[in-house]
Amino acid sequence: SYVQDEIVCGSVLASLVSLTHKDPFHSVSIKWVEIDQPLPIRAVVKNRDYVFMEATGIERLRNGERVGYHLVHSVQFPETPARQSAIRGNMSVSVVYRQRDNNMTDVFLKGFLNPAGGLMRSIVIRSAARSLLSIANNAHCCYMKKLMWALRHQRGFQAEDGSKPHQEKPCVDCGKKQSMLVTAVSHSSRGAKRLQRRRHCKLCRRYVCPDCRRQHQLSFLQADSRLTQHQITICQGCESEAFAANTRGIIRDELQNTSTPFYDWSDAYNTS
């Protein structure tokens, strides 16, 4: 939902090498995904699906430089026959990440795609290009996942003074006071709940003026495996703190806390 890679459904069929606390980036797994077709041809062209082995990790080159890798290669098993609702394709993609500095990473990508089924060359090229270029959204996906992690650990982001959303305090970022209209509406039970969502930081629960607030569309996995999206408001300080969180530490924390994989959106705006 963050990368926009046109995958409509997928599943991890087998985990050959799982993430560990010592090496939280190295994994090898067998996956299946189904790729959606463009809207103009969706009525006459079936979706393509792929079964592949995926490997991720970090290695050091001979010169000591550290690089990340993401390898995908199609595989076939008797247990994964072609489905009638889709046409089985083949692909092989190699991606190497080289961090240039704290704010820039070089991405080297090479891939081969055979969607099968006699698709026109123009359609194949466009579909492949969209899927491969979606890798540019990985940084956005990383930031959104960090925000999700911050939501699950929002006690650490609570206001130190114990302030609550309905209290009449100035903007946490610029110090601008709340308008008289906002103050009046916030005293009504119906208006308070709406303002709490739009005018208060989801992490520290403090007031954020319209000029300073940051809004992000996050995806939440429900207990019934449905994916829902909600827009949250956060302040600049909490956003910076969440984005700066150590990725390795977040993965290790999630590996240790696998018993609560779902986020209860109904409690998203409860006050302490």
Greater confidence, 54 or 173? 54
pLDDT over 80 (residue 218): yes
The span from the CA of 38 to the CA of 68, in Å, is 31
For 251, half-sphere exposure in the C-beta direction (CA atoms, 13 angstrom radius) is 13
Are residue 123 and residue 183 in the same domain, yes or no?
A: no
Residue that is last in its domain, among 91, 106, 138: 138
Instruction: Give 128-137 pLDDT, tens digit per residue.
Output: 777 777 777 8
pLDDT over 60 (residue 191): no
pLDDT over 80 (residue 76): yes
pLDDT over 70 (residue 226): yes
Residue 157 maps to a domain: yes
Residue 241 maps to a domain: yes
Residue 146 maps to a domain: no
Share of residues in the chain with pLDDT > 70 (%): 76
Region 131-144 average pLDDT: 82
pLDDT over 90 (residue 71): yes
Residue 195: pLDDT band (50, 70, 90) is low
Region 201-218 average pLDDT: 88
What is the reported pLDDT for 137?
81
pLDDT over 60 (residue 166): no
Residue 188: pLDDT band (50, 70, 90) is low
Residue that is last in its domain, among 138, 170, 201: 138
Mean pLDDT of the chain: 80
Residue 147 maps to a domain: no
What is the reported pLDDT for 15?
94
pLDDT over 60 (residue 211): yes
The span from the CA of 159 to the CA of 108, in Å, is 42
Q: What is the DSSP string of the chain?
A: --S---EEEEEEEEEEE---SS-TT-EEEEEEEEEPPPGGGTTTS-EEEEEEEEEEEEEE-TTS-EEEEEEEEE---TTSPPPTTEEE-EEEEEEEEEEEETTEEEEEEEEEEE--TT--HHHHHHHHHHHHHGGGGHHHHHHHHHHHHHHHTGGGGS-TT---TTS----TTT-PPPPHHHHHHHTSHHHHHHHHHHHB-TTT--B--TTT-EEEEEEEE-TTS-EEEEEEEE-HHHHHHHHTS-HHHHHHHHHH-TT-----GGGTT---
Residue 1 maps to a domain: no
Are residue 124 and residue 158 in the same domain, yes or no?
A: no
Residue that is last in its domain, among 110, 138, 166: 138
pLDDT over 80 (residue 9): yes
Per the structure, the complete domain to which residue 20 belongs is given by 7-138
Are residue 178 and residue 209 in the same domain, yes or no?
A: yes
Are residue 132 and residue 158 in the same domain, yes or no?
A: no
How far out from the chain centre does Cα 107 lie? 19
Structural domains in the chain (count): 2
Whole-prediction pTM? 0.75
The span from the CA of 225 to the CA of 211, in Å, is 36
Instruction: Give 46-66 pLDDT, tens digit per residue.
Output: 888 999 999 999 999 999 999
